[in-house]
Amino acid sequence: MELTLIAALLSTVLIVSNLASIVFAASRLKRRRVIAAPTGKSQPVSIVVPSRGVEPFTHETLERAFSLDWPRYELIFCVAQADDQVVGLIRAAIARFPAVPARLLFGDDRISANPKLNNCVKGWEAARHHWVILADSNVLMPEDYVQHLMAAWRSDTGLVCSTPIGSRPDGFWAEVECAFLNTLQARWQYAGEALGLGFAQGKSMLWNKPMLDASGGIRALAAEIAEDAAATKLVNGLGLRVNLVASPFEQPLGRRTLGEIWSRQARWARLRRVTFPLFFAPEILTGAAVPLALALVAAAGAGFSLPLTCIAVLAAFYLPECALASAKGWYLSPRMIAAMVVRDMILPVMWARGWLGGAVDWRGNAMTIGTKAAELEETPSSA
C-alpha cells in the first residue's frame, strides 16, 4: 500500500507540474500579431545569416529576409565554402533586391568546434550597426521580424531570442518534430522565462554589438560548444536577462524522417547535457512516460483499471498541449496526439543517450561532444 501511495503521489506531482508549465508558458506567449514599422527614427540593424547547403524552403526564407518592414537594415550572408550550392541562390536574391544592402562573405574562422559559430565570425566583424541579429538560414522571418525582437528588449536585457516553432510538416515524422519543437521545447523554454530562468536559443539572437564586444565579442561564445549556452552564461554573468519574443518565429519543416529527428534531437540533448547538466537531469520527467508508469503501478496496487488509468494520464498530458497549440495558432492536426505519444516514447532513450555521449551529426559534421568542447571532423554534407 505504501508503494501504491508513493507512486500515485509522484505521478500526480508530475502531471500537475506539466500542466503548470503549460499555464506559465501560455502567460508569456501571444498569438501572432503584426507590429507596425517605426514611424520615427529607428535603429539600423545588421542581420548575420550563416548558411550551408540548400534546404526545401531556402528560396522562401531568402525572399523573406529581403522583405522585412524595417527602415534600415543590412543582410550579411556567411558561407564557409565558396562552392556551396546555396551560393548561387544567395547571389540571385541579392540581385533581385538591389535596394536592400546585402553582402556575401566566405571563409571559416576556426575559433571553436561549433561550425555555425565559426561561420558567423566574419559576419559579426563586418557588421556596420550597433544592433546585430544572428539568424539561422531556415528561420521564416515575418515582415515584422525586427520589430518583434526589438519589442522584447528591456533595460535589464542582455539578449533577445526566439525558439523555433515548427510549421508546414509533410508527413507523420515531421509532425513528431513539431511535437518536440512546439508544445514541449518551446513550452518549457517560455515557462522557464516566466520563472526567471530564461535561456538563449540560437535560432534568432538580437545582440547589442558594443555590449558583447566589451565582453570579448562573438569569440566569447566559443566558451561552450553551443553558442546559445555560452550566450546564456555570458549574459547571466553580466547580471542581465535573456528575454524571448512574445510570438516566436516559424521554422518550416517539410518532410522529415525518423533518422533526421533522432540525429537532431540527440545532438541537442547531448549539448544540453554537457552545458547545463543540472537542468538536463530532470528532462526525463517532462514527458508522459514516467508519470504514466507511476500511475500504472499505483493503479495495479489499488485494483483500478489499467486501460482507464492510461487514458486518463495521457489525456491529462496531451489535451492541455493541444489547447496551447490551438490558442497560440501553432500547427495542430488529428495526428498530433499520436505524434506526442511517439515523441514521449523517444524521450527516455534520447535522455539516456545524452548521458552516454558518442558521435553526433551536425549538418554534415561528425562531432564527439565532450564535457567542455567537441572534436570536429568534416564529413560530406547531406545539406
Q: What is the CATH number of the domain that holds 49?
A: 3.90.550.10
Give every CB contact of residue 310 below 8 A, 6+ residues apart in sequence.
292, 295, 296
The answer to whether residues 218 and 166 belong to one domain is yes
Average pLDDT over residues 123-133: 97
Q: Is residue 267 part of a domain?
A: no
In the DSSP assignment, the letter for residue 140 is: B
Using 50, 70 and 90 to split pLDDT, how confident is the model at 33?
confident
Using 50, 70 and 90 to split pLDDT, how confident is the model at 380?
very low
Using 50, 70 and 90 to split pLDDT, how confident is the model at 148?
very high
Q: What percent of the chain has pLDDT over 90?
A: 80
pLDDT tens digits, 13-25: 999 999 999 999 9
Using 50, 70 and 90 to split pLDDT, how confident is the model at 60?
very high
The answer to whether residues 204 and 232 belong to one domain is yes
Give pLDDT, residue 40.
77
The answer to whether residues 185 and 280 belong to one domain is no
Q: Does residue 310 register a pLDDT over 80?
A: yes
Q: Is residue 112 part of a domain?
A: yes
pLDDT tens digits, 319-331: 999 999 999 999 9
In the DSSP assignment, the letter for residue 283 is: G
Containing structural domain, residue 80: 41-257
Q: Would you say the C-alpha torsion 214, 230, 235, 50 has a positive or negative sign?
A: positive
- For 213, phi and psi rounded to 5 degrees? -60, -35
In the three-class reduction of DSSP (H, G, I as helix; E, B as strand; rest coil), residue 29 is classed as coil
Residue type present at position 353: R
The answer to whether residues 85 and 148 belong to one domain is yes
Q: What percent of the chain has pLDDT over 70?
A: 93
User: Residue length, the chain?
Assistant: 383
In the DSSP assignment, the letter for residue 181 is: I
Q: Is residue 367 part of a domain?
A: no
Q: Is residue 184 part of a domain?
A: yes
Give pLDDT, residue 379.
39
| Averaged pLDDT of the chain | 91
CA atoms within 13 A on the CB side of 338: 8
Using 50, 70 and 90 to split pLDDT, how confident is the model at 198?
confident
Domain boundary among 257, 286, 310: 257
Using 50, 70 and 90 to split pLDDT, how confident is the model at 51?
very high
Give pLDDT, residue 361.
58
Give every CB contact of residue 307 below 8 A, 6+ residues apart in sequence.
none
Average pLDDT over residues 172-191: 96
Average pLDDT over residues 375-381: 42
Q: Which residue blocks in the chain are alpha helix, DSSP H?
A: 2-28, 58-65, 86-96, 115-126, 145-151, 172-180, 187-194, 209-213, 227-237, 258-275, 277-280, 289-302, 306-328, 336-356
The answer to whether residues 50 and 22 belong to one domain is no
CB atoms within 10 A of CB 188: 20
The answer to whether residues 298 and 345 belong to one domain is yes
Closest of 253, 329, 257 to residue 60, by C-alpha = 253
The answer to whether residues 316 and 218 belong to one domain is no
Q: Is residue 62 part of a domain?
A: yes
Overall domain count for the chain:
2
Q: Is residue 266 part of a domain?
A: no
The answer to whether residues 243 and 279 belong to one domain is no
Q: Does residue 378 register a pLDDT over 50?
A: no
Q: Are 45 and 333 in contact (CB under 8 A)?
A: no
Q: Is residue 380 part of a domain?
A: no
Give pLDDT, residue 359.
56
Which of 215-219, 265-269, 325-329, 347-351 shows the lowest mean pLDDT across its residues? 265-269
Which of 16-30, 71-85, 130-144, 267-281 shows the lowest mean pLDDT across its residues? 267-281
The answer to whether residues 279 and 250 belong to one domain is no
CA atoms within 13 A on the CB side of 168: 12
Using 50, 70 and 90 to split pLDDT, how confident is the model at 144?
very high
Domain boundary among 222, 257, 292: 257
Q: How far apart are CA 98 and CA 280, in angstroms?
A: 46
Give pLDDT, residue 370.
58
Q: Is residue 373 part of a domain?
A: no
Q: Does residue 376 register a pLDDT over 50?
A: no
End-to-end CA distance of the chain: 55
Q: Does residue 109 register a pLDDT over 60?
A: yes
Give pLDDT, residue 364.
55
Average pLDDT over residues 246-253: 96
Q: How far apart are CA 47 and CA 41, in angstroms?
A: 19
Q: Does residue 383 register a pLDDT over 90?
A: no
Domain boundary among 188, 223, 257: 257
Burial class (CB within 10 angstroms; exposed 0-12, middle 13-18, buried 19+) of 357: middle
Distances (CA, A) of 141 to 188, 321, 375: 23, 25, 33
The answer to whether residues 303 and 175 belong to one domain is no
Q: Which helix (H) or strand (E) holds 364?
A: none
The answer to whether residues 114 and 20 belong to one domain is no
Q: Are 223 and 5 in contact (CB under 8 A)?
A: no
Q: Which residue blocks in 208-257 are alpha helix, DSSP H?
A: 209-213, 227-237
The answer to whether residues 291 and 160 belong to one domain is no
Average pLDDT over residues 226-237: 94
pLDDT tens digits, 263-309: 889 888 988 898 899 999 999 999 999 999 999 999 999 999 999 99
